Structure 1
């Protein structure tokens, strides 16, 4: 008679373990769904920004870059000694940071 109750108890314990695994699997699935619900709009916004940036025509900038190569060697040397390349990089970075900050809401206070 004791073996019968042991078998029944084993079945009940097995069923409880199965319910526990099922609960964990459902929780993980719901967690993944909620995480995807939050990240999907952000991903779509980034895709929209990417397509907008790809649509910008920068051919005017790239055609004028060849003018640096036509400068005489002495002028290029003096510009390098004066740090004109570094200054242009700093100015371009500052402009880029300012434009990116304009995209953030509530930061457009002073400009």
Structure 2
């Protein structure tokens, strides 16, 4: 009789353990779903941004960069020592940041 009672308690413990694992698995799956629901719109917006950036025509900029290599080596060395490439990078980054900040609602474009 005691062995049957022990076996019954072991089965009940196994069933409760299975339901516990099921509850944990359901919680993890629900958490993953909620995280995906939150991340999906952001991912779609980033795909639109990537498509928009890929559609920008940069042929004029690339054409001007080719003339940079036509300068003599001495001139390029002096420009590099003066920090012209770094300064140009800072200026381009500042212009890009300014353009992005102007896209914030309630600010005027063109200011």
TM-score range, shorter chain: 0.7 to 0.9
- The residue matched to 2:56 in structure 1 has which SS? coil
Paired residue for 1:64?
A: 64
The TM-score with structure 2 as length reference comes to 0.82
- The residue matched to 1:70 in structure 2 has which SS? coil
Correspondences of 1:3-42 after superposition (within 5 Å): 3-42=3-42
The TM-score with structure 1 as length reference comes to 0.82
Are the counterparts in 1 of residues 102 and 108 from structure 2 also a CA contact under 8 Å? no
Separation of aligned partners in 2, 1:76 and 1:8: 86
- Cα distance change of structure 1 residues 88 and 6 upon mapping to structure 2, 3 Å threshold: same
Separation of aligned partners in 1, 2:92 and 2:51: 22
Gaps of 5+ in 2: none
- Cα distance change of structure 1 residues 61 and 12 upon mapping to structure 2, 3 Å threshold: same
The structure with higher relative contact order (CA 8 Å, sep 6+) is 2
